[in-house]
Amino acid sequence: MRGAVIHAPGDVRFEELDDPKIIHPTDAIIRTAVTCVCGTDLWPYRGAEPVDQPHPMGHEYVGIVEEVGSEVTSVKPGQFVIGSFATSDNTCANCRAGYQSNCVRREFMSTCQADHVRIPNAQGTLVATDEHPAEQFWPSLLALSDVMGTGWWAAKAAEVKPGSTAVVVGDGAVGLCGVIAAKELGAERIIVMSRHESRQKLALEFGATDIVTERGEEGIARVKDLTGGVGADSVLECVGTPEAMQQSLRSTRPGGNVGFVGVPHDVAIDGQELFFSHVGLRGGPAPVRGYLPDLIQRVFEGRINPGKVFDLTLPLEQVAEGYKAMDERRAIKTLLKP
Amino acid sequence: MRGAVIHAPGDVRFEELDDPKIIHPTDAIIRTAVTCVCGTDLWPYRGAEPVDQPHPMGHEYVGIVEEVGSEVTSVKPGQFVIGSFATSDNTCANCRAGYQSNCVRREFMSTCQADHVRIPNAQGTLVATDEHPAEQFWPSLLALSDVMGTGWWAAKAAEVKPGSTAVVVGDGAVGLCGVIAAKELGAERIIVMSRHESRQKLALEFGATDIVTERGEEGIARVKDLTGGVGADSVLECVGTPEAMQQSLRSTRPGGNVGFVGVPHDVAIDGQELFFSHVGLRGGPAPVRGYLPDLIQRVFEGRINPGKVFDLTLPLEQVAEGYKAMDERRAIKTLLKP
């Protein structure tokens, strides 16, 4: 098979690789329908995370089951499936508590920018659609495997409720999906911090009511202005930098909540500031698996269309250009077709 | 009047002071029935917080109203009242959201170890009892003004629910009151981290089901053993040190919650560790005012008896000995009688 391999920051290559095989009886092999490049893939691409040795990339996927291990009974060859970037058995104590992305058997997917993929914990991880969906649905279904599931989790962790005010920090694909989630969960006012016109436009289309272009103390002051002087009920932190975390915590009202889904890089939270803020804070890798049945339904009903975050579609073999376009902010998110 | 003044670490004196007067029309003056020494008073006493100049001490009080300002109509002279360590107008947006301790007009009380006290924002702060309570109730009512209200908030912030498992980190008066709160809110298992026999005994009397004497990694491992390997649903952090925060975060199951009420001293929370833990975190000064009506009822019904945390009673003029006994851990908490 063929797939993407990162060799060094800025150096992603499309290469011939060994075909994936069933290793454990809980594995499945899928043929990739579509896959994509994630904002988190840019951390190593930009050198913000080390690349010690060449390794495959990608953790987002939808596809057709080709083969299952002997213990997998929930899906069968020929079915169209969607799964999370974090695999789970969906039976352990953490899974039962709704934190499938903290499953005791969790493995993070990392080889999905390829035409075939091995899925560990397939029984608990994969969700099959009733029928093969029309190709028009593929981008939105693909978005569920990470960015839309993560945006949903950000809104849930930030406890967005009907009638509430939500702020979204970060206008990448996850932040934009956070807007969709806040809207679906009933937020009345959705403020997006964004400086990019194309992203502002999509945010407004997804349900944002206000765009704030200021950052830092000015951005915080602007959010306070828009929220009766006290701050927002819910803030979705979708970046992962110290600046974004500070922006988020200081834009939240006392008693409000920050849901943080940007993987933190060099973020330390001052205990005393958090204490006196009365802000609640919860984050982590999104428990996508738990949301999939509901979100798949919303996609098929046309209630949500997160696939719109893909503003560049390329053949899988041009994966390197897909990274480059996102790195240079020419694209929000790149869809790859094997 | 006479009251306590701290001059330097370890140097608390009982002195003649100016009588308090109504300064703002929203003030009230009370004659102190009983007051006490708080664990947080030990921070400056032990030199962990600077004492730049001599100043009065104390933020816990119950008493009889002597005089009210022209805008105070909710209480009147002669009534027995209880108030929070943080005053509030009980009408602003933060108060209405249930965060009275983040009132836009908040003033922290700081002159209560005295025979008379001025109460700012009296209208929103003070709650009068229907009748003058018998003296046997005074210690428990006094405890509501901070430690019991704070223990209650710790359990609420940690989202203690019926049937859940709670861990209390800290066996001071707040931690012990946290045990009462966890019990009242329906926790099935209440694990207290404590190494002091007298405090262990009181914790068990208040409803603790398990005592853990280990600390650090050993303490975390012990909690995991007691909670099916995953950690507790709720952890009440009642200390405020980096060690206690770490103990708390690592003792909580993915998706569980830490309520932190120990004022953080040199606490920084690692963003990436918090992220991958999936633990929710909320803390702050307790919104005691909101809880008072309910907690007063529970005291009068005999459901809770937080006054038991006072294991030393002294005349107010012996306030210095009250600090010393707590500093040397001869007393959990000192009650002072004017």
Angle at A325 between CA A323 and CA A328, to 5 degrees: 105
Residue in A263, A268, A275 nearest the CB of B270? A268
**Are B288 and B101 within 8 A, CB to CB?**
yes
**Are A247 and A219 within 8 A, CB to CB?**
yes
Question: How far off is chain B from A242, nearest CA to CA, in Å?
Answer: 9
Tokens of A103: 């499953």
Measured between alpha carbons, how far is A333 from A174 in angstroms, rounded to an integer? Answer: 10
The pLDDT, as a whole number, for residue A217 is 96
Mark yes or no for CB contact B94/A228 under 8 Å.
no
Q: Is the CB of B269 inside 8 Å of chain A's CB atoms?
A: yes
**For B186, phi and psi rounded to 5 degrees?**
100, 10
The pLDDT, as a whole number, for residue A47 is 94
Mean pLDDT score of chain B, rounded to an integer? Answer: 97
pLDDT band at A138 (very low <50, low <70, confident <90, very high): very high
Chain B environment of A283 (Cβ under 8 Å):
274-275, 278
CA atoms within 13 A on the CB side of A6: 25
Measured between alpha carbons, how far is B195 from A98 in angstroms, rounded to an integer? Answer: 35
Partners of B81 in the β-ladder: B63, B128
Residue A182 to residues A149, A212, A234, A286, B92, Cα–Cα distance (Å): 12, 17, 9, 15, 26
Mean pLDDT score of chain A, rounded to an integer? Answer: 97
Measured between alpha carbons, how far is A44 from A46 in angstroms, rounded to an integer? Answer: 5
Element (H, E) at B210: strand B210-212
Partner A, chain B 57-96, Cβ-Cβ below 8 Å = 93-94
Tokens of A133: 């969906």
The pLDDT, as a whole number, for residue B104 is 96
Chain B environment of A98 (Cβ under 8 Å):
255
Read off the pLDDT of residues B19-37 as tens digits, 9 standing for 90 and up. 999 999 999 999 999 999 9
Chain A environment of B270 (Cβ under 8 Å):
267-268
**Are B44 and B73 within 8 A, CB to CB?**
no
Mark yes or no for CB contact A263/B275 under 8 Å.
yes
Counting Cβ atoms within 10 Å, is residue A287 exposed (0-12), middle (13-18) or buried (19+)?
buried
Element (H, E) at B28: strand B28-36
Residue in A264, A266, A284 nearest the CB of B278? A284
A·B CB contacts under 8 A: 118
Chain B environment of A260 (Cβ under 8 Å):
271, 275
Q: Is the CB of A260 inside 8 Å of chain B's CB atoms?
A: yes
Read off the pLDDT of residues A217-263 as tens digits, 9 standing for 90 and up. 999 999 999 999 999 999 999 999 999 999 999 999 999 999 999 99
Measured between alpha carbons, how far is A217 from B9 in angstroms, rounded to an integer? Answer: 37
Residue A25 to residues A16, A22, A73, A122, A164, Cα–Cα distance (Å): 26, 7, 11, 9, 46
Hey, which bits of chain A come out as E strands?
Answer: 2-8, 11-16, 28-36, 55-56, 61-68, 80-82, 116-119, 127-128, 165-169, 189-193, 210-212, 232-237, 252-260, 268-270, 280-283, 312-315, 334-337
Q: Is the CB of B204 inside 8 Å of chain A's CB atoms?
A: no
Element (H, E) at A216: helix A216-226
* A interface test, pick of B226, B246, B258, B274 with most A CB neighbours within 10 Å: B274
Measured between alpha carbons, how far is B145 from B316 in angstroms, rounded to an integer? Answer: 18
Q: For the residues B169-197, what does the mean pLDDT come to?
A: 97
Element (H, E) at B335: strand B334-337
Residue B158 to residues A32, A297, B206, B249, B281, Cα–Cα distance (Å): 43, 33, 18, 11, 8
Domains of chain B: 2-146+287-337 (3.90.180.10), 150-283 (3.40.50.720)
* A interface test, pick of B43, B238, B275, B289 with most A CB neighbours within 10 Å: B275
Q: Is the CB of B43 inside 8 Å of chain A's CB atoms?
A: no
- Smallest Cα–Cα separation from A174: which of A60, A58, A12, A333? A333
Residue in A254, A266, A279 nearest the CB of B97? A254
Residue in A99, A253, A271 nearest the CB of B269? A271
Chain A environment of B253 (Cβ under 8 Å):
93-94, 97
Q: Which residue of B has its CA nearest to A95?
A: B254
Counting Cβ atoms within 10 Å, is residue A105 exposed (0-12), middle (13-18) or buried (19+)?
middle
Measured between alpha carbons, how far is B28 from B294 in angstroms, rounded to an integer? Answer: 23
Chain B environment of A271 (Cβ under 8 Å):
242, 245, 260, 264, 266-269
CA-based diameter of chain A, in Å? 59
**For A15, phi and psi rounded to 5 degrees?**
-135, 160
Burial B241-259 (b: 16+ CB within 10 A, else e): beebbbbbbbbbbbbbbbb
The pLDDT, as a whole number, for residue B319 is 98
Q: Name the H helices within B97-226.
A: 122-125, 138-144, 147-157, 173-184, 197-206, 216-226
> How many CB atoms neighbour CB B171 within 10 A?
25
The pLDDT, as a whole number, for residue A111 is 97
* B interface test, pick of A94, A96, A278 with most B CB neighbours within 10 Å: A278
Chain B environment of A228 (Cβ under 8 Å):
93
**For A102, phi and psi rounded to 5 degrees?**
-125, 25
Tokens of B272: 């990436």
Element (H, E) at B281: strand B280-283
Question: How far off is chain A from B269, nearest CA to CA, in Å?
Answer: 5
Radius of gyration for chain A, computed over Cα atoms and rounded to the nearest angstrom: 19
Q: Is the CB of B48 inside 8 Å of chain A's CB atoms?
A: no
The pLDDT, as a whole number, for residue A99 is 98
- Smallest Cα–Cα separation from B58: which of B127, B130, B5, B121? B5
The pLDDT, as a whole number, for residue A320 is 98
The pLDDT, as a whole number, for residue B25 is 98
Sign for the pseudo-dihedral over CA of B60, B66, B71, B73: positive
Read off the pLDDT of residues A280-316 as tens digits, 9 standing for 90 and up. 999 999 999 999 999 999 999 999 999 999 999 999 9
Contacts of A332 (CB under 8 A, 6+ apart): A172, A173, A176, A198, A199, A202, A309, A310, A311, A312, A326
Q: Is the CB of A285 inside 8 Å of chain B's CB atoms?
A: yes
Residue that is written with structure tokens 């990392």 in the block: A110
pLDDT band at B257 (very low <50, low <70, confident <90, very high): very high
Q: Is the CB of A338 inside 8 Å of chain B's CB atoms?
A: no
Read off the pLDDT of residues A206-217 as tens digits, 9 standing for 90 and up. 999 999 999 999
Question: How far off is chain A from B236, nearest CA to CA, in Å?
Answer: 14
The pLDDT, as a whole number, for residue B95 is 97
> How many CB atoms neighbour CB B158 within 10 A?
35
Partner B, chain A 144-183, Cβ-Cβ below 8 Å = 157
Tokens of A97: 């508590």
Sign for the pseudo-dihedral over CA of A305, A307, A309, A313: negative
Among A76-80, A281-285, B48-52, B88-92, name the one with the lowest average pLDDT: B48-52
Residue in A102, A254, A282 nearest the CB of B102? A254
Mark yes or no for CB contact B264/A271 under 8 Å.
yes
**Are A238 and A261 within 8 A, CB to CB?**
yes
Mark yes or no for CB contact B255/A228 under 8 Å.
no
Q: Is the CB of A255 inside 8 Å of chain B's CB atoms?
A: yes
Chain B environment of A48 (Cβ under 8 Å):
none
Q: Is A83 left (phi over 0), alpha (psi -120 to 50) or beta?
A: beta
Partners of B118 in the β-ladder: B29
Partner B, chain A 211-230, Cβ-Cβ below 8 Å = 228-230
Residue in B255, B270, B280 nearest the CB of A281? B280
Provide the ipTM.
0.96
Q: Is the CB of B25 inside 8 Å of chain A's CB atoms?
A: no
Measured between alpha carbons, how far is A27 from B181 in angstroms, rounded to an integer? Answer: 47
The pLDDT, as a whole number, for residue A2 is 97
